[in-house]
Structure 1
Amino acid sequence: MLSFKLYISHLEVNEQLHPNQIVLPRKISSIWNIEHKMLGKIGYQFLTKDVEVFIDDTLPDTTIQLAPPIAEHLSLLSVKRLQCFYDYQEKMFHLGPSIGVVIGDIQQTDSLPQFGTITPYIEEMGKSATDLYCPFFVFSYKDVKGTFVEGYTFHDNTWKKGNFPLPHVVYNRIGRRDQERSPQGQDFFQRLKDMNIPYFNDRFLHKWDTHALFMKEPTIEPYLPETKHLQGKNDLYELLSRYSNIFIKPFWGKEGSGIIKVQQEKGVYKITYPTDQGWQTKKVKTDYQLFEILQDRVRKRRYIVQPQIDTLEYSNAPIDFRVLCVKNISGEWKACSTVSRVGDGGKIVSNLAQGGSQRKASTLLKEFMTEEKAKHTIRFMNELGIHGAQIIDRETDGLYGELGFDFMIDKTGHVWILEVNIKPSKGDSLQHSNNSFPSIRLLLDYAEYLTGFSHH
C-alpha cells in the first residue's frame, strides 16, 4: 500500500550522517507511521539504496536529510525540491518525478547551452517544473550513455550541466524526423521502452497519414478540404479541372516550407514556390510545361494536393487559426489556446516563420462576424481539435501530449482543418504572453500523470 505524497522543499545533504542514514522530520514520520532507526529503502527512478531512518524533532516539516553517499548514489546532489511517497509493504521511500525533455542538438555558446527556437519555452518549463516539485532537465538523445545522460538543469535562472539518471518520463521535442528515425534515435526510444519509461509526442505523422485517419471519421470528414496524394500528373490535372487555384504541400513540410501554389488565370498557369532567394513566380501556358516545372520540384519528396480555400482575409493576406490541444493531469485532451495568424501580404502562407503575424482569435473574428458567432466559432474549432486529438490517440501507437490544429474559415463561415502539427512550434510568440505559456502547466501535469506520482 502506498501513502499519499508529500512535497519536499529541502532535500539536504548532511555530512554528519553515517553512510546509510536518512533523517525525517517528526511530522512526516508520524503521518507515515515510521519508527526511529527503522530499516528501509529509498529510490529515485531505477536507483535504490538501503537506509536506516532517523527521526529529528527539530527538522522543518518539509525537509529530508540524506547522507552524502546516498545522495551521490541516487544522483540527487543537485536536486533541492521533489515529491515523496512511501510504500508500506516494501518499506520504500519513492522520490521524484523527474521530467526530461529530449531534443536533437544542443549548441554551446559562451558557456550557455542553446536549444534552438524552443529555448525560451524550455526555460519557462524548467521554472514551472521547480514550482511543481519535479526535478527537470533537457538533453540530446546523442548524449545518453547506458542508463545515464548528460544534460542541463535550470537553477537560479541559469542552466547547469550535469549527469542524470534517465528520467521518470520523457517529453519528445526532437525537431527533425531524420534524427528521430536515425539508428541512434531508435536505440534511444528502444532503451526507454526496455526500462518502462513513458515518453510522449511519440513520433512525427505526415499530412497524408493524418488526413487518411480523419477521412474515416464521419464526424470530421465534412471539415477536410479535398486532398489527393500526388502520384502522377493525372492527380494534378484532375484537381485543376475543377479548381482554379491549388496548393501542393510536402508530406513532411513544417512552418509552411516547401509549399507550391498553382493559379489558373486566362489560360496561363502561375506557379509560386519558395527558393533560397525568397518566393518566386513563373508563368507557363501548357499542362506539359506546368508538369515539367513541378516535376523538378516534386521529384525528391512526396506531396499532397489541395484546392485553395476561399479564406477570410485581413488586408489581402490569408488568415488561419491555431488551436493547441494539450493533455491534463487526468490524461484528457483540453483546448489550451486559440490564436489567429495573419499572413504577410506577399506570401502564400500565414505561418509566423514566413513573416506572418499573430492576433487574438476573438478580436480578429469580430471583424467578420458578431461577438456571439465569433465565440461559437472558436468553441467549435476547440471541440474539433479535441475530437481530432482523440482520434489520433485511438488510431496510432504511442502517446501524444500536445497537438497543434491549423484551421481556416472560408467566406461562408465554414471551418476547415488544414493540418495537425505533431510537435507544435514554440519558437514564435504563439500563446507566449507576459512570459507565460499556458500549455506548460498542463503538459507538466500530464508528464507527472504518466509517472504515477499524481495518483498518490
Structure 2
Amino acid sequence: MLSFGLMTLNLSSEETYFSEVAKRAYALDIVCYRFTPSAIHPLTEKVTGERFNPTTNNWELAEFPLPDILYDRCFYRDTPHSNQCKAIVKWLKTRKDLLFLGHGLPNKLELYEALSQSELAPYLLHSKPITSGESFINGLVQQDPVLIKPVSGSQGRGIYYLEKSQREIIVQIDKPDKKISHIFPDYQRAADWVNKLIKQHHYLVQPYKELLDENNHPFDIRTLLQKDEAGNWQEICKGIRTGKKEGILSNLHAGGIITTFESWKELLPISQQEYICAEIADILLHLPIILEQIFPPLFELGVDIGVCKNGAIWILDINSKPGRKVALSINPELSDQLYSAPLLYGKNLVLQGKESYQ
C-alpha cells in the first residue's frame, strides 16, 4: 500500500479534514498517517505520529518511515516550535527522494514581487515592506488610508487600517465581535506603535480599497482551485465572503458570512456583469499557470479577489494551503470530491513517476 502523510504543527488541528481524507484512503489502497515535522527522528528518519485505522475510524499512535506522499498543512507562526518545523519542512522539500503534493508559496511580499513582473501586475495592490515606524507614518498621505499586514500571515490576523487625519493617526482592526478603533494624537506615538509591531513581525503596507457591497459591508470573492487526478487545474467553487457592516475585512474569522457567487453577480448592473465575470475568469485561468512557471509545483490555491463599486478588480490574497469552509458551505455535495482529491492526485503522481514532479 502507498503511504500518505498529513503534516501539521498540531495533531488536533484540521481534525475533520484529516479524518475525512483518511476515511477514503483505504479504498484507494493507501494508508494515512498524520505527524508534526518535529517528530521525525534525525538519525533513523522514523516518524512518531498517528496512523488511521479504517476499521475503527480512529487515529492510533504509531511509528513509521517517512510516507511515500507528503501533504504539507503546516500553518506557521512566530514560535520556537513553529520555526523548528518550518526549517525541517524546508529541508524535506530539498530532497529528491520525497514527494510533496505541493511545495507552497513564499510570503506575501515575495509573491507580490514575482507577480508584479507578470501579466497579472495590473490586478495587484502595490505592496512594500515597512522598515521603520517614523518613515512609514511620515509617508502617509492625508485622507488616503492604507492597510498594513504581516508579510507571513493568514486568516486576516494582524491586519490594521490606518489613516492620517490632521495631526492624528486613526487605527482600526476587526475583531470577531466588533471593530476596535484607536486614535494616536501625534505622529510619534503612532510611529512608536508601528515600531513595536515590526519588531515582532515583518509587515507590509498596501493602499486601502473600498471593497463594499450595496449595504456597505466589506466583501470579497474566494475561489478554490485544485488539481484533478491528472494534474489539471480545476475551479472547484467560488463564493462570496461578506463582513460586518462598516467593517474592514470580509474575513470569516472576523465574523464574516458566506453566500453564493451567483447571488452577488445577479445584483451587478448588466453593463458590469459580463466584463467583471470575464476578468475574474481570466485571472483564475492564468494565475496557477504563472505561479508554477515561477515557483515549484502546487496542488491547490485559495484566491481572494476584490471588486470596487467602479468595477476595478484586485487580487487580494493567494493561499497555497486554503481551507474548504466556503466550498462546503455553498456546495456540501462537493465533500467527497474535496476529501478524495489529495489522495487521487498523490497516487497519480506516484504512478507517473516522481522524477517529473521534483
Q: Which has the higher strand share?
A: 1
Partner of 1:409: 307
Q: Is the counterpart of residue 450 in structure 1 residue 318 in structure 2?
A: no
Tell me which amino acid in the other structure corresponds to 1:130.
Y
Tell me which amino acid in the other structure corresponds to 2:24.
S
1:348-390 per-residue CA deviation (whole Å, 9 max, x = no partner) reads 21111111111111212222334x9547634532431342222
CA gap of 1:192–1:351, structure 2 versus 1, over 3 A, is: closer
CA gap of 1:452–1:322, structure 2 versus 1, over 3 A, is: same
Partner of 2:171: 271
CA gap of 1:382–1:445, structure 2 versus 1, over 3 A, is: farther
Q: How many Å apart are 1:430 and its aligned residue?
A: 4.3
Unaligned ranges ≥5, structure 1 = 1-95, 107-114
Q: Is the counterpart of residue 220 in structure 1 residue 156 in structure 2?
A: no
Within 1, Cα distance between the matches of 2:341 and 2:272? 28
1:137-193 per-residue CA deviation (whole Å, 9 max, x = no partner) reads 322223334344332215246213144332221110112255787445544664575
What pairs up with 1:79-98 in 2 under 5 angstroms?
Answer: 96-98=1-3
- Given candidates 331, 339, 349, the residue that maps to 1:440 is 339
Asked if the contact 1:98–1:134 (Cα under 8 Å) also holds between the matched residues in 2, the reply is yes
Q: Is the counterpart of residue 348 in structure 1 residue 245 in structure 2?
A: no
What pairs up with 1:20-39 in 2 under 5 angstroms?
Answer: none
What TM-score, normalized by structure 1, do the two folds share?
Answer: 0.67
CA gap of 1:322–1:164, structure 2 versus 1, over 3 A, is: same
Asked if the contact 1:323–1:339 (Cα under 8 Å) also holds between the matched residues in 2, the reply is yes
- Given candidates 235, 241, 254, the residue that maps to 2:154 is 254
Q: Is the counterpart of residue 300 in structure 1 residue 205 in structure 2?
A: no
1:77-111 per-residue CA deviation (whole Å, 9 max, x = no partner) reads xxxxxxxxxxxxxxxxxxx43322111122xxxxx
Q: Which has the higher helix share?
A: 2
Tell me which amino acid in the other structure corresponds to 1:393.
E
Q: How many Å apart are 1:435 and its aligned residue?
A: 6.5
Q: How many Å apart are 1:238 and its aligned residue?
A: 3.5
What pairs up with 1:310-349 in 2 under 5 angstroms?
Answer: 310-345=210-245, 347-349=247-249
Partner of 1:103: 8
Partner of 2:262: 362
1:104-130 per-residue CA deviation (whole Å, 9 max, x = no partner) reads 122xxxxxxxx32x2222222123333
Unaligned ranges ≥5, structure 2 = none
1:177-223 per-residue CA deviation (whole Å, 9 max, x = no partner) reads 55787445544664575571211342552111111111111x10111
Q: How many Å apart are 1:392 and its aligned residue?
A: 2.4
Within 1, Cα distance between the matches of 2:287 and 2:72? 20
Structure 2 counterpart SS, 1:362: helix
Q: Is the counterpart of residue 127 in structure 1 residue 26 in structure 2?
A: no
Asked if the contact 1:168–1:198 (Cα under 8 Å) also holds between the matched residues in 2, the reply is yes
CA gap of 1:314–1:187, structure 2 versus 1, over 3 A, is: same
Structure 2 counterpart SS, 1:151: strand
Larger of the two Rg values belongs to structure: 1
Q: Is the counterpart of residue 197 in structure 1 residue 98 in structure 2?
A: yes
Greater RCO, CA 8 A, separation 6+: 2
What TM-score, normalized by structure 2, do the two folds share?
Answer: 0.83
Instruction: Provide the aligned length of Structure 1 versus Structure 2.
Output: 346
Tell me which amino acid in the other structure corresponds to 1:137.
Y
Q: Is the counterpart of residue 418 in structure 1 residue 316 in structure 2?
A: yes
Structure 2 counterpart SS, 1:135: strand
Asked if the contact 1:322–1:405 (Cα under 8 Å) also holds between the matched residues in 2, the reply is yes
